[in-house]
Structure 1
Amino acid sequence: MSDRPEKINLSDVHSRQVDTDLLNELRDLFVKAEEQKERYDFTWNGKAKAYFEAAAPTTKTLRAQPEESVNFEGSENLFITGDNLEALKLLQESYLGKIDMIYIDPPYNTGKDFVYQDNFKKTKKENDLSEGILDEEGDRLVKNEKSNGRYHSDWLTMIYPRLKLARNLLSDSGIIFVSIDENEIANLELLLTEIFGENNLAGTIVWDKRNPKGDSKGVSMQHEYIVAAAKNINIFSEFKEFKRPKKNAEIILNKSKEIFKKINDKFTLSDANEEYRKWINSKKDLSGGEKAYSKLDEKGNVYREVSMAAPDKPEKRSHRPLTHPLTGKQTSVPAKGWRYIDKTVLLQSFKSTIK
């Protein structure tokens, strides 16, 4: 039999073959889609159960343990031991809408620890026994692959009510951080999108563990993540901000404040700048970028001098003479012009004039 496909004369209507069964299946599919108003949806086996689990009231109570506490009467801290789902439900009574930040570190669902069926406390072997995957002697009856669909669904069913209740606890400017790795990062982001809203996702912090597994079949899995979601990103942005001081920043700022406080009739701002410059240049543990902040202004703020000259493309830069805001004299224009285009320089000059 030849490997070459049979030639079909498209001008001959009798030579065209149509799979009527396939056409009928496609027709039925489109009819059903229209009837169901088909749309994008994130769902899994057990989602309804997880939804009702989040809404179900708790039958538990919190019991104080003064004998295991430190300064029980005066402490403002609360440490709860127990099932975290029940604890989240109990906290709704007193802390609804009052928490500014939540951090959780849920199981990563690697498939090697335990699964989350029923009370979410069964070991994998116990769960396999209940489902008939292992017999009483422990002999495996069915190969239990991680990709069989159970792992992700059970994890989602477990984490959904916890995230739902956690959101209820957050204040309008509150935010939650969730640690996770590659096993469930995709599902976690979809779940946070559903619970918090896509516009309220506040970003993902990536942690490079730098210890990739040597037996990886593809790209090494060496990252973990912290996914952030705000109750309301607009309100969060108005009152809060993500801020991490640069390395050695606190040391530099403390020293600058110490020197600036010495200013008096005999110790001028110029003297303070000289002492601060000598100190920062003597610090061998500071980077070149950190040492560049070698100036103090009249308010004691640390700053660095930045050249306003254009580094390249002089034909696109402004060559407009500028008036110095303090001396009132015109400054000389750099050979390649200013760093900015003429429109920007003119606008900034106008703003300086009307201040």
Structure 2
Amino acid sequence: MHVKHLLLIAILALTAACSSKEVVDENLSEAELYQQAQADLDSKSYTSAVAKLKALESRYPFGRYAEQAQLELIYANYKNAEPEAAKSAAERFIRLHPQHANVDYAYYLKGLASFDQDRGLVARFLPLDMTKRDPGAARDSYNEFAQLTSRYPNSRYAPDAKQRMVYLRNLLAAYEVHVAHYYLKRQAYVAAANRGRYVVENFQESPAVGDGLAVMTEAYQHLGMDDLAATSLETLKLNYPDNPSLEDGQFVPRETDDDNRSWLARATLGLIENDDPLPPGQTRASQDVIRQYEDAQEDIPAELLPENQDEVREQEHEASANSDRSWFSYMTFGLFD
């Protein structure tokens, strides 16, 4: 199903790329341009609306519809899935009209453009974990909504902006926890502890605070800082007793303390590791594919397996054994095996 969706996206993108740029009639008056742009917005023809609004602004820069056209150009670019163009138009409107009665709308649309920047067509059809993606756009959106709520606290858009800020704050906190777990896995315990403390200090009241405390506890345990580990653990038990790192009140670390890696692996935080040599003809990718196949095979429900499953497995075992026979065994039909 995902493949069909991706093919549809590719076809739409190709169609849009191949379509010719719309030419706006030069004989249209200011009012006619504005009316046609409004009709395009109503019919969701955002590309055509953008072209007409740009023409209106360039041909009649001091007309009665100039400021409104600049404001609606932000919306048209946003709805046309052009976040950078929408933010650029919003910044321009804010710079040119800081005292405009609807400048709060420009701030709001600027935040929305960043908010949806990572949620394009692909993200709608694929199960992407937003907490593991680059938080740049999320951080920009949070800051832009913060400007709106601080400068215009009574704006009609402030309540929605505040709700989005809560979501973005939780997302940024979860991203920091993912980074901390990465450091734990790479046995960079000082960096992991610092990330966990950053979450606890800067994202209070977010769900990720408990995970930050768990990271701190584990990192301090690995570092031998028993007092700090005990303090973090007591705070975790007191405030987040249902955290996944606690089982029956006991802390369960995610990573072991055995560090039998080479000096190169430790120096590069595990980015360069000396793995055991692979068998001839195999690669890491092929091993991953085989492992995924075996895991998927084990997850097949029993009711979906064929009735002669035991015979199939026996035949597979015999085929595997035969594949290891020498040419002499084949020539003698296995009499001397």
Q: TM-score of the superposition, structure 1-length normalised?
A: 0.23
Larger RCO: Structure 1 or Structure 2 (Cα < 8 Å, ≥ 6 residues apart)?
1
Hey, which of these two has a bigger chunk of strand by percent? 1
Hey, which of these two has a bigger chunk of helix by percent? 2
Q: TM-score of the superposition, structure 2-length normalised?
A: 0.24
Pair member with larger Rg: 1
